[in-house]
Chain A
Amino acid sequence: MIDRIDDVQAQARLNRCFEELDKDRADMVRLAYLNGWTRDALADYFEQPVNTVKTWLHRALKQLKRCLDS
């Protein structure tokens, strides 16, 4: 039960942090993590060069980390 409450809290916190991201970048992280998309697949979908995808991912991840660790 306690575990379950912790899970819900963790999810709510993560969702809040995702909401702070630009929508595209939040989608990118979700597609990678949940759907297993590669950088190449993300680059195709978002019509961006792979290096831009990498930069976006890094910015999104750093922002998430700041938000979650704060």
Chain B
Amino acid sequence: MIERDDLDMLAAEFVLGTLPVEDRQRVQRLRTTHPELDAQILQWESRLSALNDEIEPVDPAPGLFARIERSIDQLEQASSQHNEVVKLRQQVSRWRLSTAAASIAAILLIAVMMLEPTPTKSPYVAVFQHNDEQPAFLLTVDLARKQLNIQPVTARPAGNQSYQLWIKDDELGPTPRSVGVLNEHFEVDPAALTNYDAELLRRATFGISLEPRGGSPTGQPTGPALHGFLYPTGEGADTNRL
């Protein structure tokens, strides 16, 4: 039995954003069935909202929203079902938190999500973030056709360097394997994953590193450390990994 006081602190830390990921997700679920908890959360939001006035508004980079919209449109076209993108939108806060909790000083962070309960037909989406904040790249993998598609969101051209996409799975050995080097338009061979089976792709970790022009000279990422995580987010996902 949770004491009322404890519940209130749960609500307070939920609003503050300091709950561990699992607790946060639990509270997110509980508030839909516990009006008292929901009311406490709303009260804390109201109490702390004046803190927001301390933040100076900053204009986003020109064209940022257009790029995000474009990426989502492309995702929508890539998806066989509209609701997958809706799910993606709903998952945004979840992967942000998950990656924030799991990041170890990574400059590029990766979350991989499976968007459909019928995994063999559905695309994966990987979101590559800069500094926990804005997605740098979106990667979709259509498992049925083994086609991959990568789109920059906030990623900038790397000048004299190249972005390189990696895949890692225990079955492939202890080190990441290169999927390909992104060209200047941030494209990579869409068929680069054809030789991997769907089961492996479903559990694999993807990463993007910044490498010398043309790709890593060593065959291993030489840029910033990369971490990736697999998040099943289809129906029933809440009871599994999340």
Interface of A with B (CB < 8 Å)? Answer: 7, 10-11, 13-14, 29-30, 32-34, 36-39, 42, 57-58, 61-62, 64-65, 68
Stretch at the interface among B9-17, B114-122, B155-163: B9-17
Which of A10, A30, A42, A57 sits near B49, CB closer than 8 Å? Answer: A10
24 contacts between A and B (CB under 8 A): A10-B49, A10-B50, A11-B53, A13-B50, A14-B51, A30-B51, A32-B16, A32-B17, A32-B18, A33-B48, A33-B51, A34-B54, A34-B55, A36-B17, A36-B100, A36-B132, A38-B18, A38-B101, A39-B18, A42-B18, A57-B18, A58-B9, A58-B12, A64-B47
Q: Please measure, in the bound complex, the distance between the C-alpha atom of A33 and the C-alpha atom of B52, giving whole angstroms.
A: 9
Given contacts A34-B54, A58-B9, A61-B9, contact A39 B47 (CB under 8 A): no
Which of B47, B51, B53, B100 sits near A38, CB closer than 8 Å? Answer: B100
Contact of B190 with A by CB under 8 A: no
Instruction: Count contacts on B: residues with CB < 8 A to the other chain.
Output: 20
- Interchain CB contact under 8 A, A33 and B50: no
9 new A-B contacts, CB < 8 A, other than A32-B18, A37-B18, are A7-B50, A13-B50, A14-B48, A32-B16, A34-B55, A36-B17, A42-B18, A61-B9, A61-B16
Given contacts A38-B100, A58-B9, A61-B9, contact A29 B50 (CB under 8 A): no
- Interchain CB contact under 8 A, A14 and B50: yes
Q: Please measure, in the bound complex, the distance between the C-alpha atom of A30 and the C-alpha atom of B18, giving whole angstroms.
A: 11
Q: Please measure, in the bound complex, the distance between the C-alpha atom of A64 and the C-alpha atom of B48, giving whole angstroms.
A: 9
Contact of B20 with A by CB under 8 A: yes
Q: CB-nearest residue of chain A relative to B16?
A: A32
Q: CB-nearest residue of chain A relative to B55?
A: A34
State which residues 76-104 of B face A: CB under 8 Å: 100-101
Q: Please measure, in the bound complex, the distance between the C-alpha atom of A11 and the C-alpha atom of B50, giving whole angstroms.
A: 5
Which of B13, B18, B47, B53 sits near A65, CB closer than 8 Å? Answer: B47
CB-CB < 8 A to A29: which residues of B? 16
- Rounded to whole Å, the gap between the CB of A5 and the closest CB of chain B is 13
8 smallest beta-carbon distances between A and B, as pairs: A11-B50, A10-B50, A14-B50, A61-B12, A32-B16, A32-B18, A11-B53, A58-B9
